[in-house]
Amino acid sequence: MYAFEYHRPGSVADAGALLKANEDAKIIAGGMTMIPTLKQRLAMPGELVDLRDCADLKGITVSGGTVTIGAMTKHDTVASSAEVKGAIPALAGLAGNIGDPAVRNRGTLGGSIANNDPAADYPSACLALGATIVTTNREIAAEDFFTGLFETALEEGEIITAVRFPVPEKAAYKKFDQPASRYALVGVFVAKTAGGVRVGVTGAGQDGVFRQTDMEAALSANFAPEAIDGVMVSPDRLNVDIHGDAAYRANLIKVMAKRAVADCA
């Protein structure tokens, strides 16, 4: 780890000011990716702005068919929240299966989606539920937020403050663990909403999280596991590594999607 200046502002406004004043500054949320990156000397930020004390970035509210979760809310808090379990149990379940207890008690929603790891869990939920990413500057639809591997629509100095998840009629998330890391080799979030069925797929795509629109169409017509049987999942643009080739991931997308739909019943 290289030396850096460490800041711990008490509000998102102060954090924004620090970022503005220090061009070299990076945000640290839960640090579940940032800390290993620093320890391996793969990043050399001159300034680190820790958001942990920003009380205005934490908390969960449910109202008017929307679950709003502060960006610095930890996975464990989401997983154990009665409000989230009541409104979108699949989201609480997803949070409760990220990493291990240590990760869930440090890692945050905002950190996860800002990093946009192609095997992270939350991005699939954001896409499938049609979430809105609220930042210090604006509101961004999830569709527009995840732009590529480890890339998002966030601009310099822009901080995620919260994510708004519309409550679906039904939803379920099924993750197939990569055997070593237990990140999602393939994770599929299926949501039946008033506007139709949406399917978010993480872990599999070369460009990161994506919507499986063929499945969405099939499920919108018939929301049942067997509806997916007839959907051809192309291995094109899917990841290949020692844990699975594209054909295997294509298969897992179908299997996990079917299991998620079955879970919705």
Partner 1 sequence: MSNVTGIGVSVKRKEDKRFLMGRGNYTDDIARPGMTHGYILRSPHAHAKINAIDTTEAEKAPGVVAIFTGKDMAADGVGSVPCGWLITQKDGSPMNEPAHPPLVVDRVRHVGDQVALIVAESLAQAKDAAELIEIDYEEMPATVGVASAATGPLVHDEVAGNLCYDWEIGDAAAVAEAFSKAHHITKIDVTNNRLIPNAMEPRAYIGEFDKGTGEYTLYTTSQNPHVIRLLMGAFVLNIPEHKLRVVAPDVGGGFGSKIFHYAEEAIVTWAAPKVGRPIKWTAERSESFMSDAHGRDHVSHAELALAEDGTFLGFKVETTANMGAYLSTFATSVPTYLYATLLAGVYKTPAIHCNVKSYFTNTVPVDAYRGAGRPEATYLIERIVDKAAREMGLDRVEIRRKNFIPIDAFPYQTPVALQYDSGNYFATLDRAEDMADVAGFPARKAEAAKRGKLRGLGYSTYVEACGIAPSAVVGSLGARAGLFESAVVRVHPTGGVTIFTGSHSHGQGHETTFAQLVSETLGIPLENVEISHGDTNKVPFGMGTYGSRSLAVGGEALMKAMNKVVEKARKIAAHVLETAVEDVDFKDGVFTVAGTDKAMPFAQVALTAYVPHNFPHDQLEPGLEEQAFYDPMNFTYPGGCHICEVEVDPDTGVTQVVGMTAVDDVGNVVNPMIVHGQIHGGLAQGIGQALLEECVYDESGQIVTGSYMDYAMPRADAFPSFKVDNCVTECTHNSLGVKGCGEVGAIGSPPSVINAVLDALLDVGVTDISMPATPAKVWAAIQGAKTAQAAE
Contacting residues toward partner 1, per CB under 8 A:
1-2, 40-41, 176, 179-181, 183, 241-245, 247-248, 251-252, 255
- Looking at beta carbons only, is 58 or 175 nearer to partner 1? 175
Q: Please provide the distance, in angstroms rounded to a whole number, between the alpha carbons at the two ends of the chain.
A: 49
Lookup: tokens for 176: 């197939």
Least Å distance, CB 179 to partner 1, is 4
CA 146 distance to own-chain centroid: 10
- Looking at beta carbons only, is 136 or 251 nearer to partner 1? 251
Least Å distance, CB 35 to partner 1, is 14
CB proximity list for 66: less than 8 A, separation 6 or greater: 164, 165, 166, 167
- Looking at beta carbons only, is 10 or 101 nearer to partner 1? 101
Least Å distance, CB 250 to partner 1, is 11
Least Å distance, CB 112 to partner 1, is 17
Beta strands across the sheet bearing 184-193 = 170-177, 184-193, 196-202, 210-211
- Looking at beta carbons only, is 40 or 63 nearer to partner 1? 40
The sign of the CA dihedral 74, 167, 158, 70 is negative
Phi/psi region, residue 226 (left: phi>0; alpha: psi -120 to 50; beta: rest), is alpha
Least Å distance, CB 170 to partner 1, is 22
Query: Which of 227, 230, 235 lies closest to 258 in space, CA to CA?
Result: 227
Least Å distance, CB 232 to partner 1, is 15
Rounded to 10 degrees, the C-alpha dihedral 36/249/127/61 comes to -60
SS3 139: strand
- Looking at beta carbons only, is 41 or 63 nearer to partner 1? 41
- Looking at beta carbons only, is 42 or 194 nearer to partner 1? 42
